[in-house]
Amino acid sequence: PPPIVIDTNVLISAGLLPHSRSAQALAVAVQHFVIAQNAATWHELETRIARPKFDRYFGPDGRLRHLVAIAQSIVIVQAVATDQASRDPADDKFIQLALDAGAKLLISGDADLTDIRRHRNVEIISPARFLDRMESVGP
C-alpha cells in the first residue's frame, strides 16, 4: 500500500473520540495505506498521548492499546528532508516526513498545515476532506 502521513492531532482525536471523523479517517487510511512515521512524529505522539488531561478518555490501558493499534499499520521512515513550509515550525516535521516517505497525502486538523493545502507533491487535507475523497474514489 502507498504511504500516508497523519498528524498527531488526528491520531489522538481518533483514540479519544472513536466515532469522530478523525477515527473514521484513520480506519479508512489503515485499510488503503501504510501510515508513515519517523522518530520525531512518533515521539510527539507518545509524549502528547501521555498527558494527564487524557487520563479520563483512555483509562489505564487505553493509551497503550491505541499506540499498538497504530503501530501495527506504520512504517518508520528515516528523516532526511528539511523543508520549512508551515507557520508553526513544529509542524514542518509532518511535511518533511511526507516528502521522505513519498506520501501524496497528509491528513491534519491543524490549520497551520491545512492552510498550506499543497507543498511540492504533498496534498494536505482535513480528515473530512480525506473521507470525501475516498468515498468519491470508491473501494
The string over 109-136, giving b where at least 16 C-beta atoms fall within 10 Å of a residue's C-beta and e elsewhere, is: bbebbbebeebeebbbbbbebbbeebee
Residue 131 has pLDDT above 60, yes or no: yes
User: Whole-angstrom Cα distance, residue 27 to residue 79?
Assistant: 25
Percent of the chain with pLDDT over 70: 99
Residue 139 has pLDDT above 60, yes or no: no
pLDDT for res 56: 85
3-state secondary structure labels for all residues of the chain: CCEEEECHHHHHHHHHCCCCHHHHHHHHHHHHCEEEECHHHHHHHHHHHCCHHHHHHHHHHHHHHHHHHHHCCEEECCCCCCCCCCCCHHHHHHHHHHHHHCCCEEECCCHHHHCCCEECCEEEECHHHHHHHHHHHCC
For the whole model, what pTM was predicted? 0.91
Q: How far is CA 32 from CA 12, 27, 48, 138, in A?
A: 20, 9, 26, 11
Residue 138 has pLDDT above 80, yes or no: no
- The pLDDT tens digits for 44-56 are 999 999 899 988 8
- The pLDDT tens digits for 74-124 are 888 988 888 888 888 899 999 999 999 999 999 999 999 999 999 999 999
Mean pLDDT, range 6-13, rounded to an integer = 96
